[in-house]
Amino acid sequence: MTKKCFIVTPIGEDGTEVRRSADGLIDSVIEPICKKLDLEMYVAHRIDTPGSITAQVLEHVLQDDLVIANLTNLNPNVMYELAVRHSVRLPVISLAEEGTALPFDISDERTIFYKNDMAGVKSLKQILEKMVNEAMNDKSPDNPVYRAAKSQVMRELKPDGDFESYIVERLDQFETMLSKSANRSKATSVTNASNLGMFFATFGSDNLSSKEIGDLIRRLEMDAHVLPVFQERNNSMAIPIQTSTQLSLIEKILIGSGKQFDTKFIEGSST
C-alpha cells in the first residue's frame, strides 16, 4: 500500500512571492523525492476532492504516514498544523528558509535550513531525502508535546493520567493565541504595543516539585492570563508577554512563590 506524505506550507494568494516560493520548493525538491521514495504527496491548495478543505487538511495531518512542514515566515496555520501533528506523535520533518527565527517552543527541534536558490535546491534534496528515510523508519518519534505529556507535570495538572484531554485543551489555547497574533499583525502601532517580548525565569538549584510546578503554571495562567512553558531539562520557564501588566503580575507571582530564581526579558521575542 502506497504511503502518504502531506505538505504543511504557507500558501498565499496566486502570483504572490509566498505562493511562488512554496510551489517552487514543492515542485523542485519535495515532489521529486516523494516520487523517488514511492510516497503519495498531498498539498492543501492542490486537493480537489469535494468537501471541507479544513477537515481534509486535518485528516491528512492526523493520519498520513509523513508530514513535511515548511516553517518559513512562521505562518499561523502552519504552526497550528505542526502542533496538531505533534499531538499524535507521528513522523514530521521541519524545514525553513535560512534566516527564519524559530519560536522558542521548537527552536531546539531538528530543522533543515535551506537557501532559496539553485544551489540550495541541490543541497536540500540530498539532506531531505536522507531525513525522509530516517523519519519513515523511526518507530518512536520525539517532539515537544510528547515530551511534555510524559512529564510528571501533566500528572499533577490532570487526574488519572488524562493526557489526551490536556493536550486538546492546550491546542485550543494555542489556536486562540495564533488567531490573536494573526489579527494583531494586520495592525502597526497596535502590534508594537501588544508584543513586548519573552520572559524567562530560571530556578537554578532550587528545584521545584511536580506539584509546585503545576500550581505555579495554573496561577500564571489564571491570574496573569499567559501560557508558560516549563523546560524540565534546565529547570526554567518561558512566558510570552503581550502587555506590561502581564509582566508585573508574573514578577509578583514568582516572588510570591518563595523560590529563588533568575530572570531575563528579551524584548520583541515571540512564540
pLDDT 10s digits, 85-134: 998 989 999 999 999 999 888 888 899 999 998 898 999 999 999 999 99
Averaged pLDDT, 146-165 = 59
Per-residue confidence band for 268, with pLDDT thresholds at 50, 70 and 90: low
- In what order do the strands lie in the sheet containing 3-8? 39-43, 3-8, 66-70, 92-97, 111-114
Q: Hey, where are the domains in the chain?
A: 3-141, 151-267
Could you tell me how far CA 111 lies from the centroid of its own chain?
12
Tell me which CATH code domain 151-267 carries.
Answer: 3.30.70.100
Averaged pLDDT, 208-220 = 78
Residue 243 burial (CB < 10 Å; 0-12/13-18/19+)? middle
| Cα distance between the two ends of the chain | 39
Q: Is the pLDDT of residue 72 over 80?
A: yes
pLDDT 10s digits, 24-35: 999 999 999 999
Taking domain 3-141, whether its CATH number is 3.40.50.150 is answered by: no
Q: Is the pLDDT of residue 183 over 80?
A: no
pLDDT recorded at residue 179: 62
Per-residue confidence band for 195, with pLDDT thresholds at 50, 70 and 90: low
pLDDT recorded at residue 178: 61
Determine if the pTM surpasses 0.75: no
Q: Is the pLDDT of residue 156 over 80?
A: no
Helix, strand, or coil (residue 148): helix
Per-residue confidence band for 74, with pLDDT thresholds at 50, 70 and 90: very high
Cell numbers 532550587: residue: 206
Given a contact cutoff of 8 angstroms between Cβ atoms, the answer to whether 51 and 101 are in contact is no
DSSP symbol at 150 = H
Q: Could you give the CA distance from residue 237 to residue 98 in angstroms, rounded to a whole number?
A: 27
pLDDT recorded at residue 78: 95
How does the average pLDDT of the chain come out, rounded? 82
**Higher local confidence (pLDDT), 268 or 7:** 7
Q: What angle do CA 26, 33, 39 make, to 5 degrees?
A: 95
Per-residue confidence band for 169, with pLDDT thresholds at 50, 70 and 90: low
Per-residue confidence band for 269, with pLDDT thresholds at 50, 70 and 90: very low
% of the chain beyond a pLDDT of 90 = 38
